[in-house]
Amino acid sequence: MAGDEKAALGFQQKVSSRNVICWSDDHRLLLCTDGGIHILDMLYSPHQLESTPQFQRQFIPQPQEPCNLTGLTLNKFLKLKDSLDYSELQPVMLDRALCPFVISNCSYQVFKAACWSPLSADVLGRCILSALTYDHRLVLYSSGSSKNQWKQVAELSQLYYNQHEDKLDKKFTSYEKLKSSVYKLSAMEMAWSPLLKDDVDSHSKTYSILAVGMKSGQLVLWKIRFPCLSEADCEITQTFTLSSSFFTSLSWYQTVDSSGTCYIVSGHHDGTIQMASINTKDGTVSDSWCLYSEADLMEVSCICVKSVSENRLCVLGTKETFIMSVLLEVIDKKLKICSVSHTTADNTLYATGLCIKDDQIYMSSIDSVVQKLQLHITNTDAKVRTTPVSIKFVPEASKWGCHGITLSKKWNFSCCFSMLKKCR
């Protein structure tokens, strides 16, 4: 299978993360680089299949100040440092969440990921975006009534810190106490729910739930009222411990049933896969299940969930060179795991993107391999078959790395991905 080039755009900044590219429901594309977020507004029509697409570009620079979630000043941190023995000091100094004061050649203010909200999020009915840095700063941005000026609407990481500041024990006496306290405040992954209708609050007709996976293994649910204009439109509905390992991937099932229940799946650093049912009416967790309990230490880099029949779902997760498939049956809100299986994919390094649109499923990996996935469902099992996609505009694939892949939500013909040279 071959993919034809429609546009190849160059950027000065490097890319050092995965899942760095994402289409919005209002036809905008974002790309996270080490300098900031590039937003491409596509000036293109689906009727212009033979012409080269044009983009209007905007840019959101990375934050200038580091994010400090410890609550410590530099002097207090140095006193803590002197009190730790070497076995505790080394992991503290190597963990940016615990030690935000170290100056290094790598900037941790870089955005590691960004994702679009559903429509109706700003005053013009368009999408806003959430962005997450390597030092765990989580920010909402909106272009508001302007098409070119992006502004910060709310810094959710600071709001969450402010709500827990009085509970934060700043008299840390050990590495474990410091880690336990700060990890609860450190965001790792995020995902938007489908657009929801508010039957209770007469001041806001629509909203979405932004799920944020923390380094402690807790899941924080934010109710974001639309249009989101300020921090007043952001409210925490629940904090729920889903795992003991930190989040490495997070995805919503994009369908809400008649009772207002929606499902969210998560992959974790220890290799486990979790699932929770969310009551979207009040933004709380109704139930949770462990879909894959073996802690094999192969982190789940990408995850998604797809409907395969009226009452059956299939969860796909990537673990190094393997693709996990979990077939589920949901009847009267009761979950039954029908099968758990895995497939060896054509990539040799970890996956960097996994996207679904209708029956189309694509996966990218850091070794520049792009694959189309096909699900084969039986009564008792779900198997995955992979077909490599040849990317014609890459002259020497061994010198390139694919950092993400995405399908447009509206246009079937558009498949966009980031192919960037690897750093030496």
pLDDT tens per residue across span 288-314: 999 999 999 999 999 999 999 889 999
Range name among 46-60, 196-210, 287-301, 315-329 with the lowest pLDDT average: 46-60
43: in domain? no
Residue 414 binned pLDDT confidence (cut-offs 50, 70, 90): very low
94: in domain? yes
180: in domain? yes
Q: Is the per-residue pLDDT at 422 higher than 50? A: no
240: in domain? yes
Q: What is the pTM of this model?
A: 0.92
Residue 405, amino acid:
I
Give 400's contacts (C-beta < 8 A, 6+ positions apart). Answer: 368, 394, 419, 420, 421, 422
Residue 213 binned pLDDT confidence (cut-offs 50, 70, 90): very high
Residue 269 binned pLDDT confidence (cut-offs 50, 70, 90): very high
CATH number of the domain enclosing 96: 2.130.10
* Model pLDDT for residues 136-154, shown as the tens digit of each residue: 999 999 998 877 789 999 9
Helices and strands: H and E segment counts in the chain: 4, 28
Number of domains in the chain: 1
- Chain mean pLDDT for the chain: 86
- Cβ atoms 78, 47 nearer than 8 A: no
26: in domain? no
Percent of the chain with pLDDT over 90: 54
217: in domain? yes
* Model pLDDT for residues 231-266, shown as the tens digit of each residue: 999 999 999 999 999 999 999 999 998 889 999 999
47: in domain? no
pLDDT for position 361: 93
22: in domain? no
pLDDT for position 203: 57
Reading the block at residue 311, the tokens are 């009452």
Domain extent for 176: 61-421
pLDDT for position 119: 95
Provide the 8-state DSSP code for 73: -
